[in-house]
Structure 1
Amino acid sequence: RLWRLGEEAKAVTLGLIARHRIDCDWRLGLIESVHKPRLVASERAYVDKLRDDYGYGAVEWLDREAVTAAIGTDVYHGGRLDNGAGHLDPLKFARGLARAAAKAGARIYEGSRATRVAKSGRWTVTTDKGSVTADIVVLAGNGYLDGIDDETEAHVMPIDNYILATVPIGAGRPGGLIPSGAAVSDTRFVVYYFRPTADGRLVFGGGESYARNERTDIAEFVTRHLLTVYPHLKGTKVDYAWGGRLAITLHRLPYIRRQRPGVYAAAGYSGQGVALAPFAGKLIADAIGGDVARFDVFAGLPCPAFPGGRLLRYPALVAGMSWYALRDRL
């Protein structure tokens, strides 16, 4: 059932793009590349499982020669090409959703950080510039919910992540890197992910940070990881570099709950939020309207709290993620 809901999440995203005519550079194709030889057998078996157990025929295995040709580097040992998945420009997508919401009557306030949610008759959301009262509150800030709700915060951990965009280098075009135009991620626990843009740049993300302070060396930091995949890009100019906060859960499934009457939470998409966040919004909207069937599937999934309580859960995460990062290199 979770598989079917995952497929529905993709359909919801594509439906939003089509219905609201959002120009966000949608392209088909996602390659999951294998970074260690020891993982080849299990990843290849997963392709067979998707076909045999789920009837998913859009996926195919790429051997080392094929994945090298597909990505433009020989550092990977195989890969899984999914022609039922794809990628888009998330900023253009978000702006398109905002325009559609505003057209439907929603009010969008920027630069108004929520600091507190409390009940006094109706719910009151206090911000640093005022307050809003409502019968129903949806906590949808993902990695930006610090101090808002203890229950959500216990189950969802913010992670800082960084990305760069090169100058146009012909990526996603014949003769360039990733000529098919697919997006790529790999099997590292601390994952690398990259894709060509519509104007031929390479956007590359990797090297999460747990320092809880803004980096001033983002381009240099991410370039070190980029060069482990594409060493021949040394010296390539970086036009843009930026960072942001995502959120993870211990089991990597989204945290979707009704925390108390009138308060819903959706967070912890663990890197899959482009498809899962809009879908979570639909599930919550349906639940508010009385259709709780699909919402209850996610709400019923056990989601363990991060160990260590308020004081120690973040140091525990840093220790655990450091171990997984080391394992990625072994």
Structure 2
Amino acid sequence: MFALKKPLESRQHTGSYYAATANWQNCYPPLTSEINADVVIVGGGFTGVNTLLELTERGYSCVLLEANRISWGATGRNGGQILGGIGHSHERFRPQIGETGVRALFDMGVECTDIIRQRVAKYSIGCDLRWGYLDAALKPRHMKEFEADKRWQEQMGYPYTLTLLDREEMRGHIGSDLYVGGMLNAHGNGHCHVLNLCIGEARAAEQQGARIFENSNVIRLVQGNRPRVYTDSGVVNAHHVVLCGNAYLGNLVPAMASRILPANSSVVTTAPLTAQQQHDLLPGNVAVCDPRTALDYFRLTADGRLLFGGLSNYTGREPGDLTGVMRQKMLKVFPQLQDVPLEYGWSGQMGIGINRMPQLGRLDGNVYYIQAYSGHGVAPTHMMARITAQMIAGQAERFDVFTRIKHWPFPGGPVFRTPCFALGMLYYKLRDMF
């Protein structure tokens, strides 16, 4: 039944649908000398590449160091869903950031999707960008949550229309009997080919003078007002450093590592479907997500496959039978795909923080960091990059909102924090069952 494609070793990416259908194979050299720059950025995913682009657009001399390939990590492995919003449940941060801070978070949650919309148009990036998103309710209480969210967003002035759907109305948007209702956002959220978006943004930065180095693993960081970044075979001297490795940064800065945990998510894609099959599954070609902790998310690709993801694993480990487990999850939603083979399957790691709010801040001297999107990063990464670039350029107002939010280290130390967190998340998974 399975006809999985083998990993593309020549690309040095995981064996994903995205890597197999990339618009071009970017091939940047490794760093092999000592160089100088205004800013050096560590990490070549959405956060790092967009920080690079934001700063080069402002005239800074910038270097980006990526340990593997551009978009190699979570950026090139996720479900491709472009969702607005920064973090979760802004109101709980009101004691720390006040009314103006809550308003700022909401406005940035709208702006983050607009950045992608504008960037794709400005640089003519081919990434199969489409608008349309559906929150799918599995239980009546999910509908109550959607209703409350709709009221709050409309009170805050959300600029796009949100439409509540009952069970019958859902059948006009998704070919599954699993859902009791949903909330449609036809124009504010959407989906795209994430690897093509990121490498397109990297090319835009390069064309404006940015220097990009792949296969350049950072092994040492000297902090301070004149920081230095060391790779296996080179050094960058800079006025500013921005750390954007997220779940893949490792223990380069132990204080950062203690506040983030890698969690695994898995994705599969089917073989191309017929036009009728595509229409029967998702007639409006929207991205879909349910509200559980260990959620399902899915959409159609531009070449007519169903891309289906989920299986959130808070131990950070990939399941032994990824395709077998994911196939069963997919068939629970779409049993009509019983005879359709899967052609790609892969996993990636997302960075989880305790409070589910992106972590943005400043270390010793001119060293900044951005991490912990908690599985919701395609659009927010673009916003965090903009805020950090503004901070480096001397505009601290929005950056300061995030520095007032407290982020605690995970309990248990380096050895026990992962199993402790996995045990804690079991409560939420059990709650999803009722």
Q: Give the TM-score, by structure 1 length.
A: 0.93
Match of residue 248, structure 2, among 144, 162, 183:
144
Following the alignment from structure 2 to structure 1, what is the Cα–Cα distance between the partners of residues 284 and 159? 21
Q: Secondary structure at the match of 1:168?
A: coil
Q: Are 2:219 and 1:115 aligned?
A: yes
Cα contact 1:169–1:176 (8 A) shared by 2: no
Q: Are 2:309 and 1:205 aligned?
A: yes
Following the alignment from structure 1 to structure 2, what is the Cα–Cα distance between the partners of residues 133 and 246? 30
Shift of 1:28: 0.9
Shift of 1:53: 4.2
Shift of 1:329: 2.6
| 1:245-300 Cα distance to aligned partner (Å, 9 max, x none) | 11122222111111221111111112221111121111111101101111111222
Residue 236 of structure 2 corresponds to 132
Aligned residues: 330
User: Alpha carbons of 1:243 and 1:55: their partners in 2 closer, same or farther (altered >3 Å)?
Assistant: closer
Deviates further, 125-134 or 317-326: 125-134
Residue 282 of structure 1 corresponds to 386
Q: Are 2:123 and 1:20 aligned?
A: yes
Cα contact 2:160–2:185 (8 A) shared by 1: no
Which one-letter code corresponds to 2:128 in the other structure? Answer: D
Cα contact 1:173–1:179 (8 A) shared by 2: no
Which one-letter code corresponds to 1:117 in the other structure? Answer: L
Deviates further, 180-189 or 253-262: 253-262
Shift of 1:170: 4.2
Cα contact 1:256–1:298 (8 A) shared by 2: yes
Following the alignment from structure 2 to structure 1, what is the Cα–Cα distance between the partners of residues 181 and 193? 26
Following the alignment from structure 1 to structure 2, what is the Cα–Cα distance between the partners of residues 172 and 148? 50
| 1:225-262 Cα distance to aligned partner (Å, 9 max, x none) | 21221122223211111111111222221111112211
Residue 296 of structure 1 corresponds to 400
Q: Secondary structure at the match of 2:369?
A: strand
User: Alpha carbons of 1:53 and 1:19: their partners in 2 closer, same or farther (altered >3 Å)?
Assistant: closer
Which one-letter code corresponds to 2:264 in the other structure? Answer: D
Residue 95 of structure 1 corresponds to 199
User: Alpha carbons of 1:254 and 1:164: their partners in 2 closer, same or farther (altered >3 Å)?
Assistant: same
**1:238-317 to 2 correspondence within 5 Å?**
238-317=342-421
Following the alignment from structure 1 to structure 2, what is the Cα–Cα distance between the partners of residues 7 and 120? 34
| 1:51-102 Cα distance to aligned partner (Å, 9 max, x none) | 2343545111011111233111010111111121111110110110111111
Residue 70 of structure 1 corresponds to 173
Which one-letter code corresponds to 1:180 in the other structure? Answer: G
Residue 148 of structure 2 corresponds to 45
Cα contact 2:226–2:366 (8 A) shared by 1: no
Following the alignment from structure 2 to structure 1, what is the Cα–Cα distance between the partners of residues 417 and 139? 30
Residue 80 of structure 1 corresponds to 183
Deviates further, 24-33 or 42-51: 42-51
Deviates further, 244-253 or 213-222: 213-222
Following the alignment from structure 2 to structure 1, what is the Cα–Cα distance between the partners of residues 232 and 405? 34
Following the alignment from structure 2 to structure 1, what is the Cα–Cα distance between the partners of residues 158 and 116? 22
User: Alpha carbons of 1:212 and 1:42: their partners in 2 closer, same or farther (altered >3 Å)?
Assistant: closer
Residue 260 of structure 2 corresponds to 156
Identical aligned pairs, as a percentage? 36
Shift of 1:179: 0.9
Residue 165 of structure 1 corresponds to 269
CA RMSD of aligned residues (A): 2.1
Residue 30 of structure 2 corresponds to none
Following the alignment from structure 1 to structure 2, what is the Cα–Cα distance between the partners of residues 172 and 42? 33
Following the alignment from structure 2 to structure 1, what is the Cα–Cα distance between the partners of residues 364 and 212? 25
Which one-letter code corresponds to 1:74 in the other structure? Answer: D
Following the alignment from structure 1 to structure 2, what is the Cα–Cα distance between the partners of residues 69 and 19? 34
Cα contact 1:163–1:241 (8 A) shared by 2: yes
Q: Secondary structure at the match of 2:134?
A: strand
Following the alignment from structure 2 to structure 1, what is the Cα–Cα distance between the partners of residues 161 and 356? 23
Cα contact 1:113–1:128 (8 A) shared by 2: yes
Q: Secondary structure at the match of 1:208?
A: strand
| 1:5-28 Cα distance to aligned partner (Å, 9 max, x none) | 111111112121111111111111
**1:208-219 to 2 correspondence within 5 Å?**
208-215=312-319, 217-219=321-323
Q: Secondary structure at the match of 2:281?
A: coil
User: Alpha carbons of 1:79 and 1:121: their partners in 2 closer, same or farther (altered >3 Å)?
Assistant: closer
Following the alignment from structure 2 to structure 1, what is the Cα–Cα distance between the partners of residues 269 and 292? 21
Residue 193 of structure 1 corresponds to 297
User: Alpha carbons of 1:269 and 1:81: their partners in 2 closer, same or farther (altered >3 Å)?
Assistant: same
Following the alignment from structure 2 to structure 1, what is the Cα–Cα distance between the partners of residues 383 and 274? 33
Any unmatched runs of 5+ in structure 2?
A: 1-102
Following the alignment from structure 1 to structure 2, what is the Cα–Cα distance between the partners of residues 209 and 12? 30
Deviates further, 220-229 or 179-188: 220-229
Following the alignment from structure 2 to structure 1, what is the Cα–Cα distance between the partners of residues 272 and 360? 39
Shift of 1:212: 4.0
Match of residue 337, structure 2, among 220, 233, 237:
233
Shift of 1:146: 1.1
Any unmatched runs of 5+ in structure 1?
A: none
Following the alignment from structure 2 to structure 1, what is the Cα–Cα distance between the partners of residues 318 and 140? 35
Cα contact 1:160–1:212 (8 A) shared by 2: yes
Following the alignment from structure 1 to structure 2, what is the Cα–Cα distance between the partners of residues 52 and 289? 33
